[in-house]
DNA sequence: CTGGGGAAGGGGCCC
DNA sequence: TGGGCCCCTTCCCCA
């Protein structure tokens, strides 16, 4: 007995899940685009990925070997067994695909591309027009989707909606030549998340590391205790994400489909390395391991924590995934400009909310519009710079264009507006006593917060403190778009996306994102309960639980 | 079913 | 920039 088309249906479901980000457990970085996918599917399709996915939740691909647009085709092929018919297939694009297929060790795709190239050689007149890449025979190893095809089968549901908008940006871009570099944002499908334009450092192969998804951030951490379980998230974890197979440190990736990947340095990690993904905690109740994305009611992938914090499925408040789309053209923004932007805004107070624009290089950050709650309700697609939400990617794209069009105008406008109260960094000398009071009776300058009056010990502390009053959240997460007031907080947040837990418990292997959590956790093993209730004597391992307990006392009294 | 406790995740903020 | 701490919150277990 055999269920007909079982494999095909299974793959169809997987592809639909990918399109929604459901259960996606890995992020592939290709130049300026992020692709979510399933480790199992990648590992089953590619020897290359098979060697990487057990160790990394983030893989950076060599942009010399595969471009975002090509990788999108590759990913579609992996999930459907079909090559897109929305992009013309010519020798150039097939060659790009072949390069990528060899690099990623996708034997089926490579064979298909070679076959296509050979076919084109025999019929050169057809090489530059859309030509189906098809095979009526099953793949050599019986690909679950059956015959390879160039089809518009339901398997390609991922991108279908793009084609439903003739005249839209997406629709127009379908006319672009395949493989054309300088790929435009509109070509991306929903599961792709762009790296923010701000602070987006190079992801070039020479960079050697992902650097916090282009933020120039080192998301890796060191385990202070020399734990034996830190290999895959050791300080080089992100390097490992991009090395040795990821291109950054691998200028000569395997070029033949049969080539085996080099053994990873941490391939023979200690057995308890698996604790990263499957903590074998002997603790009373090991908290279930959260994946990088939770799933909201809509099926949209929710940033880890957001769904929980704002209510997981089950009738609670829903915060949907923010779509992170920034201007690609501006991704090489001079960091100095942002620094000015950050610091210059510190003279802006809460009262500026709504109208103040802040400049980030060529990009202008605005306060979210009053009364506008980004990403809530039907407005799934959020423009990070201004916080506006839109019900569709097309509308968001159109909106982003308005930024492009009016930025020059706004910049000029800002020059005028900022002339008065909107001071730039260079306009405010932290040591300028004119912005400080003087301690009565002393010559010591007094650093008072202009908002709350708090006294700080020096100018740096004052600046740090004043930042807490800003409405502007300068540091958006490049994966979920959530903005943060401090870069460090955002970096810490991104570690949770990437599953980087550098601090491992030597007792049970459980891992934590923060050392403080590990210290706290160790009390579970030691039995130490340093926090005692002064009212009833009950002791707690966590101070926060004592505080919670005390609230119980106060509410009862 | 409810409430308390244990354990853990995440963000804000200060140093 | 990162560590440390605080707070809020969630999830699970159990009485």
At residue A463 the predicted structure's pLDDT band, cuts being 50, 70 and 90, is low
- Residue A67 CB-density burial (10 A; 0-12 exposed, 13-18 middle, 19+ buried): buried
Which of residues 286-325 of A have CB within 7 Å of strand B? 286-287, 290, 304-305, 308-309
Lookup: tokens for A46: 């590619």
Q: Is the CB of A496 under 7 A from strand B?
A: yes
pLDDT in tens, A71-119: 888 888 999 888 765 555 567 788 888 888 888 888 888 888 888 888 7
Smallest CA–C1' distance to B3, residue? A552
pLDDT given for residue A532 in this prediction? 79
Q: Is the CB of A540 under 7 A from strand B?
A: yes
**Cα A165 to the center of its chain, rounded Å:** 27
A551 nearest nt, CA–C1': B4
Q: What is the C-alpha to C-alpha distance for residues A517 and A27, in angstroms, rounded to an integer?
A: 26
How many Å does it take to go from CA A479 to C1' C13?
34
User: Nearest 5°: phi and psi at A425?
Assistant: -55, -45
Mean pLDDT of A534-539: 79
> For residue A211, is pLDDT > 60?
no
> For residue A190, is pLDDT > 80?
no
For the ranges A134-143, A163-172, A365-374, A475-484, the maximum mean pLDDT occurs at A475-484
Number of CB atoms found within 10 A of residue A141's CB: 8
Q: Is the CB of A512 under 7 A from strand B?
A: yes
What average pLDDT is seen over chain A?
A: 53
Q: What is the C-alpha to C-alpha distance for residues A229 and A281, in angstroms, rounded to an integer?
A: 13
Cβ-contact A219, A238 below 8 angstroms: yes
How many Å does it take to go from CA A364 to C1' C9?
34
Q: Is the CB of A556 under 7 A from strand B?
A: yes
Q: Is the pTM of this model over 0.75?
A: no
At residue A8 the predicted structure's pLDDT band, cuts being 50, 70 and 90, is confident
pLDDT in tens, A264-290: 333 333 333 333 333 333 343 333 333
How many Å does it take to go from CA A139 to C1' C3?
55
pLDDT given for residue A462 in this prediction? 66
CA angle A17-A382-A34, nearest 5°? 50
Mean pLDDT of A169-186: 31
pLDDT given for residue A56 in this prediction? 64
Q: Is the CB of A221 under 7 A from strand B?
A: no
pLDDT given for residue A349 in this prediction? 31
pLDDT in tens, A386-440: 555 665 555 655 665 554 433 333 333 333 333 322 223 333 333 333 334 444 4
Q: Is the peptide bond before A294 cis (omega within 30 degrees of 0)?
A: no
Which of residues 269-328 of A have CB within 7 Å of strand C? 285, 287-288, 308-312, 316
pLDDT in tens, A36-83: 788 888 888 888 888 777 666 667 777 778 887 888 888 889 998 887
Mean pLDDT of A217-234: 37
Mean pLDDT of A174-178: 31
What residues contact A62, with CB distance under 8 A and at least 6 apart?
Answer: A103, A205, A246, A247, A248, A250, A251, A253
Q: Is the CB of A543 under 7 A from strand C?
A: yes
Mean pLDDT of A362-382: 37
Smallest CA–C1' distance to B4, residue? A549
> For residue A242, is pLDDT > 80?
no
> For residue A347, is pLDDT > 60?
no
**Chain B nucleotides covered by protein, CB below 7 Å:** 3-15
pLDDT in tens, A308-332: 333 332 222 222 233 232 322 233 3
**What does A195-238 look like in DSSP terms, one character per residue?**
PPSTT-----GGG-S-HHHHTS-------TT--TT-GGGSTTHH
Mean pLDDT of A481-508: 79
Smallest CA–C1' distance to B9, residue? A305
How many Å does it take to go from CA A483 to C1' B1?
39
Which of residues 120-139 of A have CB within 7 Å of strand C? none
pLDDT given for residue A128 in this prediction? 41
Strand A389-390 versus strand A381-382 pairing type: antiparallel
What residues contact A202, with CB distance under 8 A and at least 6 apart?
Answer: A214, A332
**Chain C nucleotides covered by protein, CB below 7 Å:** 1-13
Strand A82-83 versus strand A149-150 pairing type: parallel
- Residue A350 CB-density burial (10 A; 0-12 exposed, 13-18 middle, 19+ buried): exposed
The candidate with the shortest Cα–Cα distance to A227, out of A29, A508, A527, is: A508
pLDDT given for residue A368 in this prediction? 35
How many Å does it take to go from CA A192 to C1' C10?
29
């Amino acid at each position: 007995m055999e269920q007909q088309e079982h494999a095909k249906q299974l793959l169809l479901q997987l592809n639909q899940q990918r399109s929604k980000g459901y259960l996606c457990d890995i992020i592939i970085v290709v130049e300026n685009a992020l692709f979510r996918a399933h480790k199992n599917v990648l590992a089953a399709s590619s020897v290359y990925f098979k060697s990487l996915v057990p160790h990394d939740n983030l893989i950076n691909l060599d942009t010399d070997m595969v471009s975002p647009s090509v990788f999108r085709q590759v990913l579609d092929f992996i999930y459907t067994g079909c090559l897109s018919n929305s992009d013309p297939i010519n020798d150039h694009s097939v060659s790009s695909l072949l390069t990528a297929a060899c690099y990623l060790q996708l034997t089926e795709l490579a064979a298909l591309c070679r076959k296509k190239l050979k076919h084109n050689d025999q019929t050169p007149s057809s090489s530059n027009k859309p030509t189906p890449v098809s095979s009526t025979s099953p793949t050599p190893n019986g690909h679950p989707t059956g015959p390879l095809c160039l089809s518009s089968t339901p398997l390609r549901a991922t991108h279908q909606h793009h084609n439903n908008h003739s005249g839209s940006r997406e629709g127009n871009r379908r006319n672009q030549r395949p493989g054309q570099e300088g790929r435009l944002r509109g070509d991306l499908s929903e599961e792709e998340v762009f790296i923010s334009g701000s602070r987006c450092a190079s992801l070039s192969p020479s960079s050697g590391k992902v650097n916090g998804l282009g933020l120039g951030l080192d998301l890796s951490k060191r385990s202070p205790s020399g734990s034996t379980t830190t290999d895959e998230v050791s300080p080089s974890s992100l390097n490992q994400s991009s090395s040795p197979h990821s291109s950054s440190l691998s200028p000569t990736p395997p070029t033949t489909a049969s080539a085996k990947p080099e053994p990873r340095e941490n391939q023979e990690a200690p057995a308890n390395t698996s604790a990263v993904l499957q903590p074998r905690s002997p603790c009373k109740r090991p908290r279930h391991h959260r994946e990088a994305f939770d799933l909201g009611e809509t099926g949209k992938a929710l940033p880890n924590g957001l769904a929980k914090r704002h209510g997981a499925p089950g009738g609670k408040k829903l915060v949907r995934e923010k779509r992170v789309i920034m201007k690609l053209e501006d991704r090489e923004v001079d960091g100095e400009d942002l620094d000015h932007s950050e610091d210059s805004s510190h003279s802006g107070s809460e009262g500026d909310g709504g109208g103040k624009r802040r400049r980030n290089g060529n990009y202008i950050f605005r306060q979210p519009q009053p009364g506008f709650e980004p990403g809530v309700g039907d407005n799934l697609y959020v423009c990070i710079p201004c916080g506006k939400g839109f019900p569709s990617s097309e509308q968001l794209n159109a909106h982003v264009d308005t930024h492009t069009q009016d930025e020059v105008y706004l910049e000029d406008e800002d020059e005028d507006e900022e002339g008065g109260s909107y001071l730039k960094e260079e306009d405010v000398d932290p040591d300028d006593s004119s912005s400080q009071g003087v301690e009565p009776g002393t010559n010591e300058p007094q650093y008072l917060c202009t908002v709350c009056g708090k006294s700080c010990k020096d100018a740096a502390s004052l600046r740090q403190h004043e930042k807490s009053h800003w409405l502007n959240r300068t540091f958006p997460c490049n994966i979920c778009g959530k903005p943060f007031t401090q870069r460090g907080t955002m970096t810490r947040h991104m570690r949770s996306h990437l599953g980087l837990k550098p601090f491992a418990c030597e007792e049970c292997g459980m891992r934590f994102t923060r050392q403080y959590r590990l210290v706290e956790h160790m009390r579970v093993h030691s039995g130490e309960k340093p926090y005692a209730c002064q009212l009833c004597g009950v002791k707690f391992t966590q101070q926060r639980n004592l505080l919670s307990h005390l609230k119980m006392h106060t509410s009862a009294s």
